[in-house]
A and B are shown apart, each in its own frame.
Chain A
Amino acid sequence: RKEVEQDPGPFNVPEGATVAFNCTYSNSASQSFFWYRQDCRKEPKLLMSVYSSGNEDGRFTAQLNRASQYISLLIRDSKLSDSATYLCVVNAVYNKLIFGAGTRLAVHP
């Protein structure tokens, strides 16, 4: 079983749609959780950290369920510029990040 599992997609959605990505992790001792965004052949960029209480940043909402070892990302009112690969990332040991394979999102006009 992979340490971090994501649905690879792709998710093809029209502009304005709401889309949700899910992720599960296997190490119950994991300390912190993140969503990163990666464009093709570019470095990943931190989108947001994920907390148990849930957190929101504009159109993006992230949620963590430690009991189920499950992380989610919700994107509302999708923009063309949201097209990218979204990486679920888990930090089990100090700054040693474990990346999911990513979920591809394609937003079309």
Chain B
Amino acid sequence: GAVVSQHPSWVICKSGTSVKIECRSLDFQATTMFWYRQFPKQSLMLMATSNEGSKATYEQGVEKDKFLINHASLTLSTLTVTSAHPEDSSFYICSASPGNEKLFFGSGTQLSVL
């Protein structure tokens, strides 16, 4: 079946540094990928929709300058958390679709900012 690879799965960084998370569709092309964030005991919240070759669409309340999304190819989207702070510590997860109704998730990235 279709696979979405997300990397890294776990990262610890100092406050003020930037962290890049990669999401790759391994055996299909994805013109659209989605980025979610999940705080402990809360639901997955859609942050943004990543569109290949164009700007990402951000959900209300998500700072586009804080969470930079680049979707430079049909198989790769990246999320960069710029100047990360402890309140950005969360579980970040991406998803992608090969074009039908099926949606495949990456394995997620646990970010801890000290």
A100 near B43: Cβ-Cβ < 8 Å: yes
Which residue of A has the minimal Cβ distance to B105?
A: A43
- In the complex, which range does the number of interface residues on chain B fall in? 20 to 34
Residue of A nearest to B49 (CB): A96
Q: How many A-B residue contacts, CB cutoff 8 Å?
A: 44
Closest to B96 in A: A95
Tell me the complex Cα distance, A95–B99, Å. Answer: 9
The interface residues of chain A lying within 8 Å CB-to-CB of B46 are 96-98
Extra contacts, 16 of them, besides A43-B105, A91-B101, A95-B32 (Cβ < 8 A), are A8-B41, A41-B110, A42-B107, A43-B106, A43-B107, A44-B44, A44-B105, A87-B43, A95-B97, A96-B49, A97-B34, A98-B46, A99-B43, A99-B44, A99-B45, A101-B41
What are 27 A-B contacts with C-beta separation under 8 Å?
A: A4-B43, A41-B108, A42-B108, A43-B93, A43-B105, A43-B106, A44-B105, A46-B103, A87-B43, A87-B44, A91-B101, A95-B32, A95-B95, A95-B101, A95-B103, A96-B34, A96-B46, A97-B34, A97-B44, A97-B46, A97-B103, A98-B46, A99-B36, A99-B45, A100-B43, A101-B41, A101-B43
